[in-house]
Amino acid sequence: MASGKLSPRQKMINMMYLVLIALLALNISNEILKAFHLMEVSFSKASQALTDKNKAIMAAFKAAEEDPSKGARAKKWADKARQVQAISDAFCKDIDKYKTDIEVAAGGRKEAEANEAGIREMSKGDDMEGHKHYLGTDDPGVKGKGDDLRKLIDNTRAKMLTVLDGVKDDKAVKQMFEKNTAFRVEDFKDENGALKTWERDVLGHSPVAGVMAILTKVQNDCKSLETDILTKLSENIDATVAKFDKTAALVIAESTNVMAGSQFKAKIALMAYNSEAANEIMVNGQTVKVVDGIGEYTATASGVGSHKIDAKIKTVNPETGAIDFWVNAEPIEWTSFQPSATIAADAMNVLYIGLDNPMSISVPGVTPGNTSVSAGAGISLVKKGDGKYVATVSLGQKESTISVSAKMPDGTSKRMGEQKFRIKTVPKPVAQLGTLSSGAYNRGEISMQSFLYAYLDGFVFDGVKFTVTKYQVIFMPKRGYMEEAAVSGNGTAAIKNFANKAKTGDMLVIQGIRATGPGGEKPLNPITYTFK
C-alpha cells in the first residue's frame, strides 16, 4: 500500500483505511465501560470507608491528648497524625482537580436519572483523546500533566513515609510500608521487552472511563497508606501499655471485586495496639502470617460468587497476662467474577416461535445471585442455572425486550440495560426426494430413494427437524395417461412403482406436501423430477 509513487487520491484512500482500522480498534463495548464505572464506584466507596476509619483513629488521638495520664506523650504522635492527614487530603484534592479537568475534556458525565445518587457514568466513556491532550501523553517528547501526576504520586508517598521518622524501628517500618503499599506508579515491559510507562501507556491508552477508575484507585491507595501510618503512630503513644476501650479486628481490603485468576488481598490489624500485641491472627479459622503486628491474608479468586472473611486476633494483656481474643464486628465480603467480553451481532437478535431459545445473561462484576432478568410481552423466560436461561416466544408480537437489573451494595436495584429481540417463525423447509433435489435423473437413481425429506436449508439453529406426513405424486408420461397416488407418511413405494415403468422424458410431480415440526404442520412447495 506504501510502495511506488501514489497519486494524491490514492494517498487519501490509504489514510481513510488506516483511520477506519483505528476506529474499529477503539470500539469498546458498553459492558466493559459499565465495568470500568462499577470499579470507579467501588474504589470511591472503599476510599470513603477508609476516610471514616481514619476519622475514628484521629478521635482516639484527641482522646489520648485529653487524657492527663498520657497527654504529653500523645501530642507528639497526634501532631504527626495531623501532618500525614494534611498530606493525604492535599493529594486527594489535587487528584480531584485532575479528574474534574479530564471530565470536562471528555465531555462530562451523564445526567442523573430520577432518584439516582452517587457517581454517574461518563457521557463518552470510550473517549481516547480528551485526557491524552490534557495529560500530554500523546507526545512522548514533551513533558506534560501526566508526568507531573507521576511526580505528585511519588513525592506524596515519600512525604507520608517521612512522617514515620521517630517511631519504634522506624527504618524497618518505612521499608515495610514502602514495599507493601499499592500507592505507587509501576511501569512494565511489553512482550518485546520495551519499557512502557504508567502515565503514557496505561493512562494514555485507556478509555476515559478506565482513567477515572484508575485515578479513583490512586486516591484509595493513598487513603490506605494513611490508615497504615495513623495506626502505626497510634501504637507509639504507649509502647508498653495496651489499654482497649473500643476495639475490633480491622480488615482492610485492597479491592472487594476480584477477577477470576487474580488475587484477593487484605490486611488484618487490631486498631490502637503496639507491635507486640497481636501474637496470632486467624482468618476463617486458618492462621496467617503476622509481620510487625499486621496479618497478611491472600486468597486466589475462582469462579463467580461472594466470599466472607472472619478474622480473630489473639493477644496477651500486658497488665494481667490474660489471653484475649478480638474479632471483627461483622464478616467482610468480597466478590470474584469471571473475565468476560460480550460480543453480539445486533442484526441477529432473533427469537424463534416454537423453539427453546438458549440465552446467557450476566452483568460484568455482579454475581448471578444479585441479578434479576425480566422479559417483555410475548417472551417467557425459564432459568436453567447461573446466568443461563431458555426463552420461548408466542405469536402476536413482532418484537419485544429482555432487561437486566442488578442489586447494589446499598440494597437498591439498578437497571443495567436491555436488549430488543425480533420474534420470527421458523422458516418453511424444502422438500427433497432422498438425496435428490428437483432435476433430471435416470430411472435407477430415482427408484433408489427410500424417503421424502423436509430440510431447513441454512437455518442457524442446530437440531431443528421437520418430518413429511403426507404428499401426492403425479406420474406424467410423454405417451400415455397421467397417473397419481396419495401417500400417507414419507415412504416412497408409490414413487418407485412409477419409476419402474418410466421412459426417457417422463416426469414425476410431487405436490401437496405437508411436514410437521416446530410451530406445527407446514405446507411445502412442489418438486419435480424428469427421467433421463
Please write the tens of the pLDDT for every residue from 262-276.
566 777 766 655 455
Q: Mention every residue, 6+ apart, whose C-beta is less than 8 A from residue 291.
A: 176
Closest CA to 64 of 50, 54, 78: 78
The CATH number that applies at residue 327 is 2.60.40.10
Q: Are 409 and 398 in contact (CB under 8 A)?
A: no
What pLDDT, in 10s, does the model give residues 460-480? Answer: 777 788 999 999 999 999 888
**For position 316, what pLDDT does the model report?**
57
Sheet containing 323-327: give its strands across: 286-287, 278-283, 311-316, 323-327
The domain tally of the chain equals: 4
Q: Which one of 311, 341, 371 terminates a domain?
A: 341
Task: Extract the C-alpha cell encoding 95.
Answer: 487528584
Residue 258 near residue 334 (C-beta atoms within 8 A): yes
In a domain, 486, yes or no: yes
Verify that 329 and 364 share a domain, yes or no: no
Handedness of CA 143, 149, 152, 156 (dihedral sign): negative
Encode burial over 280-301: b for 16+ CB neighbours within 10 A, e otherwise.
ebbbeeeebebebbbbebebeb
CA–CA distance, 334 with 301 (Å, rounded to integer): 10
Determine, yes or no, domain membership for 209: yes
Report whether 47 contacts 256 (CB < 8 A): no
Q: Same structural domain for residues 117 and 223?
A: yes
Long-range contacts made by residues 477-484, C-beta under 8 angstroms, separation at least 24?
A: 477/502, 477/503, 477/506, 478/503, 478/505, 478/506, 479/503
Sort strands 350-353 and 413-425 into parallel, antiparallel or unpaired: parallel
Looking at the fold, whether 139 and 251 belong to one and the same domain comes out as no
Considering the domain architecture, whether residues 35 and 84 belong to the same structural domain is answered as yes
Looking at the domain assignment, is residue 18 inside a domain?
A: no
Query: Residue 279 and residue 114: Cα distance in Å, rounded?
Result: 52
pLDDT, residue 277, reads 54
Whether 1 is in a domain gets the answer no
- pTM comes to 0.43
Same domain, 76 and 216: yes
Q: pLDDT digit string (tens) for 121-155? A: 777 777 777 777 777 766 666 677 878 888 999 99
Q: Which residue has the higher pLDDT, 39 or 381?
A: 381
Give the Cα separation of 208 and 40 in Å (integer). 11
Alpha carbons 212 and 321: distance in angstroms, whole number: 50
Reported as a single tens digit per residue, the pLDDT across 327-360 is: 766 666 666 655 544 545 455 688 888 888 888 8
Distance CA 10, CA 12 (A): 5
Which secondary structure element, helix H or strand E, spans residue 334, and what is its range?
A: strand 332-337
Cell of 425: 417463525
Q: Do 459 and 396 belong together in one domain?
A: no
**Is the same domain home to 89 and 177?**
yes
| Residue 10 resides in a domain | no
- Rounded average pLDDT over 230-239: 81
Boundary (domain end) residue, out of 294, 323, 341? 341
User: 271 and 57 in contact (C-beta within 8 Å)?
Assistant: yes
Q: Which of 290, 307, 341 is the last residue of a domain?
A: 341
Predicted local distance difference test score (pLDDT) of residue 320: 44
Cα separation, 37 vs 44, in Å, equals 11
b/e per residue 161-196 (b: at least 16 CB within 10 A):
bebbeebeeeeebbebbeeebebebeeeeeeeeeee
The span from the CA of 50 to the CA of 47, in Å, is: 5
Are residues 70 and 134 both part of a single domain?
Answer: yes
Indicate the helix (H) or strand (E) that contains 526.
none
Q: Is 336 helix (H, G, I), strand (E, B) or coil?
A: strand
Confidence of residue 19 (pLDDT cuts 50, 70, 90): low
Q: What angle, 0 to 180 degrees and rounded to 10, lies between the N-to-C axes of helices 145-162 and 208-235?
A: 10
Same domain? 149 vs 220 = yes
Question: Measuring CA to CA, which residue among 450, 446, 427, 426 is closest to residue 436?
Answer: 446
Q: Is residue 15 part of a domain?
A: no
Task: Report the share of the chain in percent with pLDDT over 70.
Answer: 77
207 falls in which pLDDT band (50, 70, 90)? confident
Rounded to the nearest integer, the mean pLDDT of the chain is: 79
Residue 25: what pLDDT?
A: 45
Q: Are strands 323-327 and 388-393 parallel, antiparallel or unpaired?
A: unpaired
pLDDT at 91 over 90: yes
Q: Is residue 104 part of a domain?
A: yes
Contact 185, 199 (CB under 8 A): yes
Quick one: which of 511, 522, 499, 518 has its CA closest to 450? 499
Same domain as 129, residue 40: yes
Determine, yes or no, domain membership for 440: yes
Q: With the CA atoms of 84, 88, 93 and 96 taken in that order, what torsion angle do they form, in degrees rounded to the nearest 10? A: 180
- Tell whether the model's pLDDT for residue 40 goes beyond 70: yes
pLDDT at 241: 46
Residue 248's pLDDT is 57
> Alpha-carbon distance 350 to 424, whole Å?
7
Residues 410 and 470 in one domain: no
**Residues 31, 261: Cα–Cα separation, whole Å:** 20
> Which tens digit of pLDDT belongs to each residue from 390-448?
888 888 888 989 888 888 766 788 887 888 898 888 888 899 998 888 999 998 898 89
Residues 320 and 357 in one domain: no
The alpha carbons of the chain give a radius of gyration, in whole angstroms, of 36
Q: What range does the domain containing 305 cover?
A: 243-341
Q: What gap in Å lies between CA 530 and CA 507, rounded to an integer?
A: 4
Residue 36 has pLDDT above 50, yes or no: yes
